[in-house]
């Protein structure tokens, strides 16, 4: 919660800090991923028989995507080589040899304003060697609260829509997966990325209101304490007042 309060205070003093944020995260992209939960939702009346569904699993073939981006769009799209370990040494090499040159090329003048690098608290990001590399590159590390996935812009804004677009599609090679990911990112307007960074302010404010609990955790708590009577009332609104609600 202290991290959230500090960020909001800093933003209120200087809203232009959003222009300096470069955020990153990683995710697996499968050669085949079955339909999402949203796509598999079947709307039917409670009295209708349920259809049998076969559970389909994502393919074992996949590539690790690491994305660095800001308000203006992607800066670095990195695909990890198969067999390469996710550790501090490889992450530091990516920062030095790929990210900084990409910023120089795509965001002229940004380095002179001091980049605010934002990533989660995975171990490769928090060890001393990584922190030292960030300082040597002239970046400032934007603090991130532990166990807060809703404060990672890639998680709450990018990876969901990306994977939604790729669901149920089959790819025959890593090259095809990479091309599709690059194409999807290019097709997104600048306003899409800008909205994702701007939403960080909203997410931090929610964190403060919820006293440090991240939003998804708060929803779980809400559902846990919801009474049976309230659930029945919700069902009454959704369906045609089926008689079993009054039993």
pLDDT tens sequence across 103-159? 999 999 999 999 999 999 899 999 999 999 999 999 999 988 777 778 899 999 999
For the chain, which residues make up each domain, given as ranges?
A: 2-35+55-213
Return phi, psi of residue 76, to 5°.
-140, 125
Assign a CATH topology to domain 2-35+55-213.
Nucleotidyltransferase; domain 5 (3.30.420)
Cα–Cα dist 230/158, whole Å: 34
pLDDT digits (tens, 9 = 90+) for 44-80: 445 555 555 445 566 678 999 999 999 999 999 999 9
- Residue 48: Cβ within 10 Å count: 9
Residue 223: C-alpha distances to residues 82, 94, 212 (Å): 41, 42, 18
From the list 145, 148, 147, the residue with the least C-alpha distance to 156 is 148
């Amino acid at each position: 919660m202290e991290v959230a309060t500090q960020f909001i205070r800093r933003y209120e003093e200087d809203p232009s800090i959003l222009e300096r944020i470069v955020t990153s995260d990683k995710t697996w992209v499968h050669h085949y991923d079955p339909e999402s939960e949203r796509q598999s939702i079947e709307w039917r009346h409670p009295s209708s028989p349920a259809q049998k569904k076969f559970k389909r699993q994502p393919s074992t073939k996949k590539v690790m995507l690491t994305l660095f981006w800001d308000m203006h769009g992607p800066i670095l799209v990195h695909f990890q080589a198969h067999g390469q370990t996710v550790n501090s040494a490889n992450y530091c090499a990516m920062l030095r040899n790929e990210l900084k040159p990409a910023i120089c090329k795509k965001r002229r003048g940004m380095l002179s304003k001091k980049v605010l690098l934002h990533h989660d608290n995975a171990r490769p990001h928090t060890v001393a060697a990584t922190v030292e590399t960030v300082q040597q590159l002239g970046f400032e590390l934007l603090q991130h609260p532990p166990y807060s996935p809703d404060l990672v812009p890639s998680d709450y804004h990018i990876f969901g829509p990306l994977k939604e677009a790729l669901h149920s599609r089959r790819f025959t090679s890593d090259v095809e997966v990479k091309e599709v990911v690059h194409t999807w990112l290019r097709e997104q307007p600048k306003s899409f990325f800008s909205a994702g960074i701007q939403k960080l302010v909203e997410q931090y404010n929610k964190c403060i209101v919820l006293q440090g609990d991240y939003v998804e955790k708060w929803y779980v708590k809400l559902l846990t304490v919801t009474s049976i009577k309230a659930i029945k009332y919700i069902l009454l609104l959704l369906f045609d007042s089926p008689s079993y609600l009054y039993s």
